[in-house]
Chain A
Amino acid sequence: MQILMAVILGALFGFVLQRIGAADPDKIIDMLRLRDPHLMKTILTGIGVGSILLFIGLALGLVDSGHLSVKTMDWSVVFGGALMGVGWAISGYCPGTGVAATFSKGLDALFFLLGGLTGAGIYTLLYGSLADTFLMNPLFGGKMTLAQTGIYSALLPKIPGWIPAVIIGVLFIVGTILLPKTDSEPVNSRDSHV
């Protein structure tokens, strides 16, 4: 059953990444060099919609809070995030979009994936010597959320989780208005609006 879920949800996610343009290095790099806000707006809307649905689902008891998984906050998140950002800007891929682009981008994606396997391998070998350093000491209580989830400690413990979560979710969606307008039609002919 779990495997069937993996097949369906994995294929759905890859499909969606492809159709929103995230599996296209041109779209990623044009977002990062602030030329095309299309993908940024899609991502902000996606996070907002996902967050609102999730917290309303939790509040109504439709979503099992045991399914949540919050990652530890420590210095490695800061350094690792920045490192990933640099590689993301150079290649135009992140791990998920590189996988989704395997067939549509051919060799280009394949070189990224081979690099990714190499990078993951390097980290796997280095982990032993990084494990006990300051990088892995939890900050802000480690696994912490803003809104109450019922299982992690929250920065806003007195308020029902769905209230701040819905407010933040709406802000993410409304925030897209602040970004420049995007002409949604010529996304495959970037050259036209240089």
Chain B
Amino acid sequence: MYWNWKTGGVILGLTFFLAVALVKPIGVSTQFVIADGIVAGAVNPDLVQRDDQAKSGFRSTNAYLNKSGGKYAKSVANPVNYGFIFVIFMAVGGLLGHLMDRNRRPGFPDSPIPDVHVQRFGHSRTLRFALAFFGGVIVLAGARLAGGCSSGHMMSGIMQTSVSGYVFAAAAFLAAIPTAMLIYRR
């Protein structure tokens, strides 16, 4: 069973505060680019190279990885960095949270596909996995275009009273609510 919203909200707020106080605001979506870069770099060793002229000490043949003085190129070259390890350990934390939930549903994973999908489209796993994949493509393409996701823009952004955070949240919910109602009905 999940925490009630009062407990959950306070702990969520404390977590975001702790991250800024100790290191920097939480963000996730950048690390999908870094993961892609690590894979692409293994296939094409020329993708990221050392460059003493660059601000970060690294450059890339790809314009995005090369942006801001090769900031992302540097993370691709050194995967053991704060942002990337943070996201890897989110998966571990998620697992711990799941296992420590004594009232969780039996089974592992607890449900093969979401109930909302079953109620609307039946038990077809193929369709659900296709929707999850396609949704993932749009989520990350959108988040990278916007420069952040629900963590970086919405939570961390609004918490700092950032103008871009409010606008991002408004755009995301105004698109997401009708889409969810259209696809999954009310």
Interface residues of A (CB under 8 A from B): 2-3, 5-21, 23-27, 29-30, 32-35, 38-39, 41-54, 57, 62-63, 67-74, 76-109, 111-125, 127-128, 130-131, 135, 140, 143-147, 149, 152, 155, 161, 164-165, 168, 173, 176, 182, 184-185, 187-188, 190-191
Within 8 A of A (CB), among B1-55: 1-6, 8-26, 28-29, 32-33, 35-37, 40
Known: A14-B92, A111-B133. A67 touches B181 (CB 8 A): no
- Interface contact A91-B82, CB-CB below 8 Å: no
Could you list some 14 contacts between A and B, CB below 8 A?
A: A3-B85, A6-B23, A16-B93, A17-B94, A38-B4, A67-B25, A71-B153, A81-B169, A86-B175, A97-B150, A103-B109, A114-B133, A121-B40, A144-B164
**Neighbouring B residues of A15 by C-beta, 8 Å:** 93-94, 96-97
- Interface contact A21-B2, CB-CB below 8 Å: yes
Interface centre among A26, A69, A89, A182 (most CB of B within 10 A): A89
Prevailing SS type, chain A contact patch: helix
**Neighbouring A residues of B2 by C-beta, 8 Å:** 19-21, 24, 27, 38, 187-188
User: How many Cβ-Cβ contacts under 8 Å join chain A to chain B?
Assistant: 532
- Interface contact A54-B172, CB-CB below 8 Å: no
> What are the 3 tightest A-B residue pairs by CB atom distance, in nearest-first order?
A115-B136, A45-B9, A91-B135
